[in-house]
Chain A
């Protein structure tokens, strides 16, 4: 049975799950409404109590919006952070905390890190399985945005084609991210350090000229300024990675004796198996090698656990709101008792009154859930925009199958709970209700 389920496509599995979740509610509705067409009377009932009905539906909508908004938001953040980390297969750094290094090298969050020396870089770059070994030297900034020293090969790895201009070819040239408020031809002077510790003018009059612009990729690199690593070393008073007879061609090969150091190296191999071999090989006492994707997957796993708890709380909130609404609805049916008594007096069967009351409650639940889905989507989009602005990671939250499943389950449970106020209506004494 399990193997058959595994063979079915993910979309088909989701549709089947949605139908299964809706089924109890649909079957309940089919049984309760069998033989009756309560539409016009139901509409009249809602219209007569439109404001109360609206309040009930909106209460349900808000509770559904909280639940769906949270799950959609978590998924959007997970997908956005994964996409931002995609170009970074394997990172090698000095031993430390993988998460700290990942945030620094992949998400460009400033941190102090020890440097890998020339022989270490050389050993990595010369490895037969390595197709790209790019230093990622961060620490400087321009108006709060990170200035990252690297190689032309790394820039090409980030984007094969630039959105504008060309690759940097001299130490005084730069390629900038899509969201940097500069244009090709503009000059900028880097500050030493970043954030509140930034020291403007620490590098004297040195200025880069922007010669190219990267296309947007939805990551913090959109706000980064990429410069030749040779110039980063030089403006810090260090060797430029090359011997005195250097011909001026930027990037590798570097001479280990003149390689001042880099906090991180992006390593790439063509074959998948080679990545595992390289990670094993560069996980030593002096170097730490890790897959940012795997570290991120662990963080996502943690987020998933939090999501489970939050989803549980969201479902509990929804059920509590729905239960409160149904309790309030029970009171409302007391207000409607005279109308129902009249219906009974003119010959309406007890089951019709039951069906009418249940339909009234169920319609409010379904309408509230539908509006809640839309509210949840809008809320998560607003939150996504705020997170994107603060982290530079493009977060795009949208409704997916988990949200539809959540709402389907909620609707099924609550329309079954709605049988209770409907049943209570039948227990009311007709004669005294007529007199009331």
Chain B
């Protein structure tokens, strides 16, 4: 199977996971990762990251060789009519949070190995310094969804 669809809980020992929607690692909470359904070569992944640790963290992108050829951190243009811009790194200071959302920052998946269908799930890694590759569980919402179906839940 070319996809690694996840229906199991993550077991990596470096972090504890409260639910499919939430990953905790050394005071960093990664919540509600979701993607818009896509039957083309591209898709976008969104997630909420809260840094309650004492050290800054840096989001650099993602990785999911079974799902897409590449995953890059991109920023939707803040000007009307502008093109999305690649973002090399997104520092998240202690005590602050960043939401990856459709009209802001997002993870751009390019070269999808198979269509992303609403209701299905997959796993991918966030490249999050200094924690390295952090596995997250991504739920696929509708192609025109603007938020995770559990957005607003604190878990």
Contact = CB atoms under 8 A, between A and B. Distances in A.
Interface of A: 78-79, 81-82, 85-86, 89-90, 272-273, 275-277, 279-281, 283, 291-294, 296-298, 300
A79 B80 CA distance: 9
B78 A277 contact: no
B78 A293 contact: yes
Nearest to A283: B99
B80 A85 contact: yes
B78 A90 contact: yes
Interface in B80-122: 80-82, 85, 87, 89-92, 96-99, 103-105
Given A276-B75, A277-B90, A280-B97, A293 B82 contact: yes
Contacts of B81: 78-79, 82, 297, 300
Contacts of A272: 75, 78, 85, 87
B33 to A, nearest CB: 16
A298 B76 CA distance: 12
A298 B98 CA distance: 22
**What's the dominant secondary structure at chain B's contact region?**
loop
B150 interface: no
Contacts of A275: 78
Given A276-B90, A279-B104, A82 B98 contact: no
A86 B98 contact: no
A298 B99 contact: no
Contacts of A297: 77, 80-81, 103
B79 interface: yes
A294 B90 CA distance: 20
A283 B101 CA distance: 13
Nearest to B78: A291
29 contacts: A79-B81, A82-B79, A82-B80, A86-B79, A272-B75, A272-B85, A272-B87, A273-B89, A276-B87, A276-B90, A276-B98, A276-B104, A276-B105, A277-B90, A277-B91, A277-B92, A277-B96, A277-B98, A280-B96, A280-B97, A280-B99, A281-B97, A291-B103, A291-B104, A294-B76, A294-B80, A297-B77, A297-B80, A297-B103
Nearest to A82: B80
A82 B81 CA distance: 7
Contacts of B105: 273, 276
A120 to B, nearest CB: 16
Contacts of B75: 272-273, 276
A81 B87 CA distance: 27
Nearest to B99: A280
Contact of A294 (B89, B96, B97, B103): B103
For A82, A273, A292, the residue with the greatest tally of chain B CB atoms inside 10 Å of its CB is A273
Contacts of B91: 273, 277
A272 B79 CA distance: 11
Contacts of B96: 277, 280-281
A292 B99 CA distance: 18
Contacts of A298: 103
B36 to A, nearest CB: 15
B78 A294 contact: yes
A283 B104 CA distance: 13
Contact of A293 (B77, B85, B87): B77
A272 to B, nearest CB: 6
A415 B105 CA distance: 49
Contacts of B92: 277
A9 B98 CA distance: 35
A293 B89 contact: no
A280 B97 CA distance: 7
A111 B133 CA distance: 48
Contacts of B89: 273
Nearest to B88: A273
Closest A-B pairs by Cβ, 4 of them: A82-B80, A296-B80, A293-B79, A291-B78
Given A277-B91, A277-B96, A296-B80, 12 more contacts: A85-B79, A272-B78, A272-B87, A273-B89, A275-B78, A276-B87, A276-B104, A277-B90, A279-B104, A280-B97, A280-B98, A281-B96
Nearest to B79: A293
Contacts of B82: 293
Contacts of B78: 89-90, 272, 275, 291, 293-294
Nearest to A89: B78
Interface string B10-49: 0000000000000000000000000000000000000000
Contacts of B99: 280, 283
A292 B77 CA distance: 11
Contacts of B80: 78, 81-82, 85, 292-294, 296-297, 300
A220 B99 CA distance: 33
Contacts of B77: 293-294, 297
Nearest to B100: A276
Contacts of B90: 273, 276-277
B51 to A, nearest CB: 11
A79 B79 CA distance: 11
B70 to A, nearest CB: 14
Contacts of A86: 79
Interface string B41-82: 000000000000000000000000000000000011111111
A106 to B, nearest CB: 11
